[in-house]
C-alpha cells in the first residue's frame, strides 16, 4: 500500500474543550503518524483562502467565523492510504450521519463545529500541506 500524507486540522470547538489529545489518540490508534503539528490562530484572510472552494456556499461566512473563533491545531498525518484512512476515522461531515466510533460521531457539536478537517484527495492534501507547512517543519 502507498504511504501518503494528508492535512488534518483540529478545529476550534475541540481546542476549546481541551480534547486535542483525545483526537490525536484516535488518529494514532488508526495507524496515522503525526509528522508535523502546530497550534495556531487562523487569521481571517487565511481562513477565507483555505476554504475558497466553498466561497459560493451559504455557510462560507459562518464557517470562516467559526474557524477564526479560537485556536486550531494543524497537522500532517502519514500512513498507508492516509487520505482515505483519515476520512474514515473522521466520519461524515454531519455528526448525525457519522458512523459509530468515528471522531465526529463522538466529539462533533454540529455540522459546522465538527471537530476535525481532513483533506479529501491526494491533490488537495498536497495543496493544503503546502498552505500551512514548510518542508523543514515536517519530520517523518
Point out which residues bind ligand GDP (CB under 6 A).
Answer: 59, 62-63, 93, 111-112, 114, 117, 120
What grid cell was written down for 56?
A: 459560493
What grid cell was written down for 24?
A: 490525536
Closer by beta carbon to ligand GDP, 50 or else 133: 50
Minimum gap (Å) between residue 58 Cβ and ligand GDP? 7
Distance CA 124, CA 106 (A): 26
Minimum gap (Å) between residue 67 Cβ and ligand GDP? 8
Distance CA 47, CA 90 (A): 20
If DSSP codes are grouped into helix, strand and coil, which group holds residue 7? strand
CA angle 27, 88, 28 (to 5 degrees): 10
Q: Give the active site residue among 117, 128, 129, 132.
A: 117
Minimum gap (Å) between residue 87 Cβ and ligand GDP? 8
Closer by beta carbon to ligand GDP, 24 or else 102: 102
**Sequence-ordered list of residues with C-beta below 8 angstroms from that of 98, at least 6 positions apart, any chain:** 90, 91, 92, 104, 105, 108
Closer by beta carbon to ligand GDP, 63 or else 77: 63
Minimum gap (Å) between residue 104 Cβ and ligand GDP? 8
Closer by beta carbon to ligand GDP, 50 or else 140: 50
In the annotation, is 54 catalytic? no
How far, rounded to the nearest angstrom, does the alpha carbon of residue 107 sit from its chain's CA centroid?
Answer: 13
Q: Which residues are catalytic?
A: 117
Amino acid at each position: 500500500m502507498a504511504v501518503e500524507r494528508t492535512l488534518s486540522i483540529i478545529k476550534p470547538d475541540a481546542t476549546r474543550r481541551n480534547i486535542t489529545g483525545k483526537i490525536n489518540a484516535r488518529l494514532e490508534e488508526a495507524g496515522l503518524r503525526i509528522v508535523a503539528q502546530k497550534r495556531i490562530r487562523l487569521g481571517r484572510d487565511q481562513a477565507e483562502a483555505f476554504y475558497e472552494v466553498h466561497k459560493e456556499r451559504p455557510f462560507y461566512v459562518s464557517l470562516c467565523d467559526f474557524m477564526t473563533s479560537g485556536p486550531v491545531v494543524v497537522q500532517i498525518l502519514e500512513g498507508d492510504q492516509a487520505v482515505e484512512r483519515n476520512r474514515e476515522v473522521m466520519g461524515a461531515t454531519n455528526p448525525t450521519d457519522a458512523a459509530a466510533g468515528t471522531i465526529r460521531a463522538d466529539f462533533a457539536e454540529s455540522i459546522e463545529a465538527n471537530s476535525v478537517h481532513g483533506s479529501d484527495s491526494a491533490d488537495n492534501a498536497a495543496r493544503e500541506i503546502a498552505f500551512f507547512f514548510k518542508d523543514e517543519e515536517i519530520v517523518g
